[in-house]
Amino acid sequence: MTFNYRLPKLQLRRLGFTLMLPVALCGSVVFPTQLQTATAQTRDNRALSIRADRQEYNAKNEIVTIRGNVQISYPARQLKATAAQGQYFFKQSQIDLSGGVHIVQNGTNSIRGDKASYLIEEGRFIATPKRGSQVVSTYVVDDTGTNARNRTSANRPLTIRADLQEYNSNTQIATGRGNVQLSYPGRQIQATAAQAQFFNREGRIILSGGVYILQEGKNSIRGETVTYLINEGRFVATPKSGRQVESIYILDDANINNQPPKAPSTPRLRRSN
């Protein structure tokens, strides 16, 4: 069964007078467990569907509290989320989720953490992990390049692990901070840094703070800041002030004879007459 409440006008539909009276008297109503689904209107009049074992709506502060097997669907932003509990703050246009949070947007990009806030008007997610763990996000990258090698490859996953992560769905920029680990199997790239930013529209990754990049399990780059241009397959690295970038490349010298080169032969002396 579905119930709709339009905020902030308190139009609690299909609830009847028996539930409207407690709202008028104490400013809140608790939905019993058999009333699992509610649909609210966001500030831009778009439908936000909430499912949970227990829901509470406070008319005074315009906050919806949801507990147990929470499922949120926001079709206007192609957003789906699950969590143990959450709150929807209409005045602040914000959703807070906690407990095994999993957010999926566009059916592809995802974030997993212990807590996450979604700032609706900004289109921005802020996720934090449990203590001793990390936030994990996965983004599908369209890395169809301009060269023949890249034309056959597209929509590859990029995974970021960090102590804190933000994602702005409006700008399509993902930011990871603290003990960042980045994995891009499609290009055999692994990287660590203090911070990472992934610009999906531009096809660019910027790593900063003690950056270490390993590609194909052998070639590596160390620097303070490294920019990776995905479609070009190009790294641009800069060091700290007064230092240098260090890179190591493994050369395929299998065709070179392992024997040391012979010294050139000494020309024979010609006798003079």
CATH number where 204 lies:
2.60.450
Structure tokens at 91: 């005045």
Q: Is residue 19 part of a domain?
A: no
The domain of 222 spans: 134-250
- Rounded distance, CA 261 to CA 227, Å? 41
First to last CA, the chain: 119
Rg (CA), the chain: 28
Nearest to 90 by CA among 3, 6, 14: 6
Residue 47, in any domain of the structure:
no
Take residue 18 and report the two structure tokens written for it.
Answer: 């028996």
Domain for residue 111, yes or no?
A: no
CA 164 to chain centre: 10
pTM above 0.85, yes or no: no
Does 46 map to a domain?
A: no
Q: Does 80 map to a domain?
A: no
Is 227 a member of any domain?
yes
Given a contact cutoff of 8 angstroms between Cβ atoms, the answer to whether 106 and 164 are in contact is: no
In a domain, 81, yes or no: no
Per-residue pLDDT of the chain (273 residues; tens, 9 = 90+): 344 544 444 334 333 333 443 444 445 555 554 445 666 556 666 788 999 999 999 999 999 999 999 999 999 999 999 999 999 999 999 999 999 999 999 889 999 999 999 999 999 999 999 999 999 999 998 776 544 454 445 678 999 999 999 999 999 999 999 999 999 999 999 999 999 999 999 999 999 999 999 999 999 999 999 999 999 999 999 999 999 999 999 987 766 656 666 667 666 666 665
Kindly state the tokens that stand for 71: 């499922």
Cβ–Cβ contacts within 10 Å for residue 240, how many? Answer: 12
148: helix, coil or strand? helix
CB-CB contact of 176 with 161 (8 Å)? yes
- Continuous H helices in the chain: 17-26, 148-151
Domain count, the chain: 1
CA 89 to chain centre: 23
Query: Residue 168 domain-assigned?
Result: yes
